[in-house]
Structure formats: structure tokens, C-alpha cells
Structure 1
Amino acid sequence: MDISWLEFIIFSMAVFRLTRLLVYDQITEWIRSPFMDEYEEKNDEGETETYLLPKEGGVRGWFGNLLSCFWCTGIWMAIGLFVIRLYVPVVYKPVVIVLAAAGLAAIVETWIQSKNIG
């Protein structure tokens, strides 16, 4: 199977963005919530901090551990996108282009914020 360097870079950006979407973004909290337990703790200043921890044991615990690990989720997202590339290429191309563009935009925005530009 041939894959150009450009396609590999675009694919990698798409995997990056899809993984961050599932692991961190607020918009996908509803996907993570069945697999996580919420714990609250007071910090030294008396403020309440909320922590999400994977559920204990079973399938929900397994998915909770997966969704709390950027590296673990990234592998599965790469496999999923690759399978889509093989079997449903008409879906693959637009999805990967949109995810890659969003991933690059997120990186650029993070860089701009770190430099206090704009």
C-alpha cells in the first residue's frame, strides 16, 4: 500500500485532532461521561476542584482508561481512520481533510496565544 509523505502528514494531523476531540474537548464530554466518575476535592485555597477518573473494572472501566489516555486513544483513532481509508475512501478524504485542517488551526492558535500575538 502506497502512501505519500503529504498524505501521511495530513493523516497524522487528522489523528491528532480526532484524538484531542475525544479525550479533551468539552463537546464530546457526553461520550466520555458514561465511562468516568466525577470526584470533587477542596484545594489549599478552599476552592472545589473536579477530577474525572475512569470507572472501576469492566467494559466501562476499560473504555474509561482508554479515553483518559491520549496515547491509547490515538492508536485506536489511527487504526479507525486507516480502516476507513481502505474500505470507505469516499468518506475518508473529506473527514480527514476537515480534521487535519482543524488540527493545524489548533496548533497555530496555540502558538499565537503563546506568543501573545493578536
Structure 2
Amino acid sequence: MVTIMELLLIVFATFRITRLVVLDVIFEPVRSPFFTIEKNNEEEWLEPKGLLGELISCQWCVGVWVSVFVVFLHLFVPYSELFILVMAVAGMQSLIYEWSQTKGE
């Protein structure tokens, strides 16, 4: 079974990896084939192409699959704890950063 500490690490790692896939610039080359750029007079936005575009633009959808991946790693892949720990620390850091940005406004 999973302890409370392991669950917290899995949660924060899942959060960080999900954010990486859905929002972060570093993952943009992987996302870009699944989106088109739409424009009107003053605005520009990304429009998902097809089912896969819809899925990778949805934080809730990606979060489900990432959580399956992280739990699988934790339970079945030896030495995956280091990866999960690093992603969890990065997840906590990004939450603290976002919190500090909203407190400063």
C-alpha cells in the first residue's frame, strides 16, 4: 500500500508533470502539431485539432493519464523514487511560486 508521504509525493509529481505537458513552454514543440493558431483583429489563440489536441489541452484529462503513469512508476519500476521526488519538489516549488506571485499583487 502507499503511505501518506508517498501519496503526497505522487500528487505533487503528477501536478508538475501535468503542468509541464499542458502549459510549459519547454513542451511546446510536442504540443504544436495538435493545435492551429487562430486570429482575429487583435487576438491570437491556439485552437486544438482533433481529439488528441482536445485531450492535451485539458489539464484534467492529462492529469488522469499522468497520475496513472506516476503510480505505475512508483509501484513497478525500480529506482523511480528519485524521478518522483524531483518532480514532487518541482511541483511544490511551482505552487509556492504561483502563491507568492498572487500574494504580491
**TM-score of the aligned structures, taking structure 1 as reference length:** 0.82
What's the C-alpha RMSD, in Å, of the aligned pairs? 1.4
Match of 2:90 among 77, 98, 102: 102
Q: Secondary structure at the match of 2:37?
A: strand
Query: Where do residues 32-111 of structure 1 align in structure 2 (5 Å cutoff)?
Result: 32-42=31-41, 48-55=42-49, 61-90=50-79, 92-111=80-99
Tell me the SS of whatever aligns to 1:9. helix
Shift of residue 67, structure 1, vs aligned partner: 0.6
User: What is the percent sequence identity of the aligned residues?
Assistant: 36
Greater length-normalized contact order (CA 8 Å, ≥ 6 residues apart): 2
**Matched residue count:** 105
1:30 corresponds to 2:24: no
Q: Which runs of 5+ in 2 are unaligned?
A: none
SS, match of residue 2 in structure 2? coil
Alignment partner of 1:114 is 2:102: yes
Residue of structure 2 in register with 1:15 after alignment: 14
Stretch moving more, 106-115 or 10-19: 106-115
Larger radius of gyration: 1
Aligned partner letter, 2:33: P
